Structure 1
Amino acid sequence: MQIEQIKTLGDLKKSGYTPKSIKEEVRDNLIRSMQNRENPFEGILGYEDTVIPDTERALLSRHNILFLGLRGQAKTRMARQMIDLLDEYIPVVAGSEVNDDPMNPLSKFAKDLIAEHADETPIQWVHRSERYGEKLATPDVSVADLIGDIDPIKAANLKLSFADEKVIHYGIIPRSNRGIFVINELPDLQARIQVALFNILQEGDIQIRGFKLRMPLDILFVFTANPEDYTNRGSIVTPLKDRIESQILTHYPKDINTSLAITEQEADILDVQKQRVAVSDLVKRLVEQVAFEARSNEYVDKKSGVSARLTIAAFENAVSSAERRAIIHNEAKTQVWISDLAGIIPAITGKIELVYEGEQEGPYQVAVNLVDKSIRTLFVQYFPNPEQAKKRKPSGKRSAEEKEPENPYKTITRWFDAGNHLDLLLDMKDADKIAHLYKVDGLYGFVKKYFPHANESENALLMEFVLHGLSSYSMISKKVIDGKIEFKDLMGSMMNLGMMQEEDDEFNEEDYN
């Protein structure tokens, strides 16, 4: 019998419908999904061997779940995807506020209706998308919001006394009966509100303004929280934690390839941007490396975490930086240059929490340093380590037996040591930038030696990458001022800086006298 034909309790009984609890329902559908080799958490990357198996075990055990982890670790997304493990439709008593099962009613409303109409009791079918409730825990959440309260307006309209159960206005939890209910950021819920959840989780009792109702609510609870030591705003009270059967620890991507896949999946890049702006694998990896550097940086608060949203927003900004430059110069095609990473700074500063020393350094400077460290980390994956080149003895100090290879960067650094400098404007046309890069002696040949099959645009990008890499290893100097990046020799820059400092000191002394 089709569900469209089942409109009364009598029809439901004839159809052979067998009610099951929400946790049994989820368990059965999960088993079916696993047997069919289907992934119930499609699009959740990096959790295949950790969080997803733990979640499946918890659901097979019919447990309520607490996802514990730092921000941006897909905790809420995991909970929302559990909707797919529900049956597509379930029957409820028509008009019920708490999704009463026609075969096992809970509320006085449903019991009275069935007592009056018996098999003619009307039923309706609820889609699984309507069986999901979610509440962000904030300090102003009350027991009435979650569980319910007496509704004086309802009492007046129905001419009932406050002693009548029909005057109760149910909160969001009873209204989520026979569904999934999620409380996000559980530690932010006041302790006295958390206490109100004890009986719901364990015994199924709810109390509303003196009404002691025995309502064994059928709910799969999912809670999310940051680690307790992250926030001073509150914590999960121990008896509540004890009643949540499975606590599952989430984590950030463990390798850069997983992080790349997440950003690729989540970044909102328009088709028109994709057609106009090319993004190399090198630039994508540099953007991802920023998050890895931030998670281990001494200036960034590790208890706060660094969300995957940082790299997603940074990648979008990098593409938009290149697009903006192409629009200004009316270029049909361009690529994201290393210099375009200056445009991702706003995506970093708002997404990292700094310790005291970091605040003293300043969020902008910390973000710039993170980009430089990303360049430094990835540079040795593409080219020889400049640190080893700096440690090599000059040829005059080596014995005849020593055959240590020459410094591969010698030609490039000598060009700068001779007093030459290179200025790359942040909004420079691609053709002009390429022409400027070819001015540096040995730069093109050096890149071609290690990447002989690179095309013209890839070669130019790698040439720029070499300059930024040598700067990050203090073999040449780099200065970003007035919309341009200036590359110079290191010693000359240091001497100029010293002379400027001396002039400032003299000026201050004269001013004082």
Structure 2
Amino acid sequence: MNYRSLKASNLVKINTLGELKAAGYQSRTIKQELRDNLIERIRAKEVVFPGIWGYEDTVIPDVERAILSMHHINLLGLRGQAKTRIARQMINLLDEYIPVVAGSELNDDPLQPLSRFAIDLIAEKGDQTPVAWMHRNDRYTEKLATPDVSVADLVGDVDPIKAATLKLPYSDERTIHYGLIPRSNRCIFVINELPDLQARIQVSLFNILQEGDIQIRGFKLRLPLDIQFVFTANPEDYTNRGSIVTPLKDRIDSQIVTHYPKSIEIGKKITMQEAIVKNEQKSMVKTNELVTDLIEQIAMEARESEYVDAKSGVSARMTISAYENLLSSAERRALLNSEKETQVRVADLYGVVPAICGKVELVYEGEVEGPVIVAQSLIGKAIRNQFLQYFPNPEKAKKDKRGNPYRKITDWFGDGNTMDILNDLSNRDYEARMKTIDGLDDLVDQFHPRLGKGEKLFMMEFALHGLAEHSLVGKKAMDTGQSFKDLLGSMFNADSAFGKDDDEEEEDDDDRY
């Protein structure tokens, strides 16, 4: 029996180096440890990176190959592509506990000590050297690369206070204060946004990656550090803050390119998994499949939009925030109307505009339009595209010999009728307004006859917005909601801002008061 066959509860009984040797402990590098445990997972047909959706056939196989090859890894991709999540889940491939020399700064292996402290302690106490057990959750270090990171932060420096306290000359190795990297010996060390690290700091990583050496001031140190490095970076053509210096890139064994979800279904899995939904929201707000599709469609439209900077990307965090805002928009309406339950509405999509504005970087043309206008345009395009999945194409419907299914609706607006769908309408008023429009009820019954009451009302409103996006009905955004009217009537409306002269505007102002 060796120590790996012992239960975690029995490990605490091994307290000395002698007991560790008797238990059959054999040293392994962290890369060998990751490799061995990955092999066991693969053979057992276990999911290695749970909750990482859309990478099953692309990124995850590449990561597994890199681990099997015992490589340092660079995850290259735009923001919100689960790079850091993958790195954090690698700790699940580590042994649950490993032995370390008790009190060691560098997590020294009792059989292969590195630090002066551990070497001296083992020389003094031999098999009675105290051993502690380090859990895998403590074997992960993460550092965000920023311009102010120094070599001392990562590698270390001479500590004058320690030298004075111990009455040691600066030439003594014991005066060194080790940085994050040496203190992560036998751990996974992650540097996020590597291009943001100054070039001279990146140079300090050369020897650590290649030889395991560290250089601190004038000390001649050779510490064969045992570290699994994982870097994350945005593509070099995206960031203007810096880049990965070529010699460092050459020393990173595997560079793995990540990507955004390739389908709406994958995007929904990520959003539903990550969104924070309160229990009271779950009981109060009822959603449907279409509205979650629309949220993901907005992200896809943003990634293709001429107004959004494609090099910056559109993070998966946008759909997560948008979904949370969507539920909160419906919840707020229910609270205002003292309703215990409400169905999410298409109008609630316009409540996610703040989530969109905060998550997209606009090009010059987008800045000219303004972030709110761009966000509303993205919502409109999402509705337009999803509309064709549920109703006939309006262009083809006009030529249908069996009759245009939208004629009743357009005729109703053509008779001079208008409809304001306000954001805060009560359930009763909302239903009444939906059923006021001739032909809207019949349209949904024709193509979706088995919907429940709440879903049917949502589909009616969705059809109304879809017709507006396909230019069969006019739509105008208001501060309090959306106003629908005849398309031609809205184009030639004498009350439009472009159809007034100064005197008419003054008369309107007088009428308001």
Measured against the shorter chain, the TM-score band is over 0.9
Select 1:417's aligned residue among 406, 414, 417.
Answer: 414
Helix, strand or coil at the partner of 1:479: strand
Paired with 2:429 and 2:410, the residues of 1 have a C-alpha distance of 22
Taking the TM superposition and a 5 Å limit, the aligned residue runs for 1:404-483 are 404-483=401-480
1:488 and 2:485 correspond: yes
Paired with 2:388 and 2:496, the residues of 1 have a C-alpha distance of 34
In structure 2, the residue matched to 1:31 is 39
Paired with 1:499 and 1:225, the residues of 2 have a C-alpha distance of 50
Shift of residue 298, structure 1, vs aligned partner:
0.3
Q: Does the CA contact (< 8 Å) of 1:94 and 1:124 recur in 2? A: yes
Q: Does the CA contact (< 8 Å) of 2:53 and 2:269 recur in 1? A: yes
Encode CA deviations 1:180-205: one digit per residue, 9 max, x unaligned.
00000000000000000000000111
Taking the TM superposition and a 5 Å limit, the aligned residue runs for 1:384-395 are 384-390=392-398, 392=399
Taking the TM superposition and a 5 Å limit, the aligned residue runs for 1:66-77 are 66-77=74-85
Paired with 1:145 and 1:251, the residues of 2 have a C-alpha distance of 32
Shift of residue 500, structure 1, vs aligned partner:
4.1
Q: Does the CA contact (< 8 Å) of 2:59 and 2:257 recur in 1? A: yes
Paired with 1:179 and 1:244, the residues of 2 have a C-alpha distance of 17
Paired with 2:309 and 2:35, the residues of 1 have a C-alpha distance of 39
Q: 1:148 to 1:324 in 2, by over 3 A?
A: same
Identity within the alignment, %:
63
Taking the TM superposition and a 5 Å limit, the aligned residue runs for 1:346-361 are 346-361=354-369
Paired with 1:420 and 1:507, the residues of 2 have a C-alpha distance of 24
Shift of residue 499, structure 1, vs aligned partner:
6.1
Helix, strand or coil at the partner of 2:340: coil
Taking the TM superposition and a 5 Å limit, the aligned residue runs for 1:158-307 are 158-307=166-315
Shift of residue 404, structure 1, vs aligned partner:
2.9
In structure 2, the residue matched to 1:79 is 87
Encode CA deviations 1:431-486: one digit per residue, 9 max, x unaligned.
11111111111110111011111121111111111110000011111112140311
Q: 1:41 to 1:497 in 2, by over 3 A?
A: farther
In structure 1, the residue matched to 2:19 is 11
Paired with 2:339 and 2:33, the residues of 1 have a C-alpha distance of 57
In structure 2, the residue matched to 1:155 is 163
Select 2:119's aligned residue among 111, 114, 118.
Answer: 111
Paired with 1:287 and 1:316, the residues of 2 have a C-alpha distance of 11
Shift of residue 34, structure 1, vs aligned partner:
0.8
Paired with 1:375 and 1:497, the residues of 2 have a C-alpha distance of 29
Q: 1:435 to 1:165 in 2, by over 3 A?
A: same
Q: Does the CA contact (< 8 Å) of 2:435 and 2:441 recur in 1? A: yes
Select 2:97's aligned residue among 75, 89, 96.
Answer: 89
Q: What is the one-letter code of the residue matched to 1:495?
A: F
Q: Does the CA contact (< 8 Å) of 2:99 and 2:110 recur in 1? A: yes
1:504 and 2:512 correspond: no
Paired with 1:501 and 1:343, the residues of 2 have a C-alpha distance of 28
Q: What is the one-letter code of the residue matched to 1:129?
A: N
Helix, strand or coil at the partner of 2:221: strand
1:61 and 2:69 correspond: yes
In structure 1, the residue matched to 2:344 is 336
Paired with 1:425 and 1:93, the residues of 2 have a C-alpha distance of 68
Shift of residue 501, structure 1, vs aligned partner:
1.8
Helix, strand or coil at the partner of 2:74: strand
Q: Does the CA contact (< 8 Å) of 2:493 and 2:499 recur in 1? A: no
Q: What is the one-letter code of the residue matched to 1:161?
A: P
In structure 1, the residue matched to 2:319 is 311
Helix, strand or coil at the partner of 2:180: coil
Shift of residue 507, structure 1, vs aligned partner:
7.5
Paired with 1:497 and 1:145, the residues of 2 have a C-alpha distance of 68
Helix, strand or coil at the partner of 2:188: strand
Shift of residue 504, structure 1, vs aligned partner:
3.1
Encode CA deviations 1:362-419: one digit per residue, 9 max, x unaligned.
00000000000000010000000112235x3xxxxxxxxxx73322211110000010
- Listed as ranges, the gaps of 5+ residues in structure 1 are 393-402, 509-513
Q: 1:177 to 1:497 in 2, by over 3 A?
A: farther
Paired with 2:113 and 2:497, the residues of 1 have a C-alpha distance of 83
Q: 1:338 to 1:42 in 2, by over 3 A?
A: same
Q: Does the CA contact (< 8 Å) of 2:189 and 2:230 recur in 1? A: yes
- Listed as ranges, the gaps of 5+ residues in structure 2 are 1-5, 506-513
My pick for the range that moved more, 471-480 or 356-365, is 471-480
Q: 1:77 to 1:218 in 2, by over 3 A?
A: same
Q: 1:329 to 1:406 in 2, by over 3 A?
A: same
Paired with 2:388 and 2:243, the residues of 1 have a C-alpha distance of 44
Q: Does the CA contact (< 8 Å) of 2:494 and 2:500 recur in 1? A: no
Shift of residue 129, structure 1, vs aligned partner:
0.7
Q: What is the one-letter code of the residue matched to 1:274?
A: K
Q: Does the CA contact (< 8 Å) of 1:92 and 1:100 recur in 2? A: yes
Select 2:370's aligned residue among 358, 362, 377.
Answer: 362
Select 2:134's aligned residue among 109, 126, 151.
Answer: 126
Q: 1:500 to 1:272 in 2, by over 3 A?
A: closer
Shift of residue 237, structure 1, vs aligned partner:
0.3
Q: 1:298 to 1:505 in 2, by over 3 A?
A: farther
Paired with 1:480 and 1:83, the residues of 2 have a C-alpha distance of 50
Q: What is the one-letter code of the residue matched to 2:137?
A: S
Q: 1:351 to 1:497 in 2, by over 3 A?
A: farther
Q: Does the CA contact (< 8 Å) of 1:205 and 1:212 recur in 2? A: no
Q: Does the CA contact (< 8 Å) of 2:187 and 2:226 recur in 1? A: yes
Helix, strand or coil at the partner of 1:458: helix
Q: Does the CA contact (< 8 Å) of 2:38 and 2:93 recur in 1? A: yes
Q: What is the one-letter code of the residue matched to 2:40?
A: R
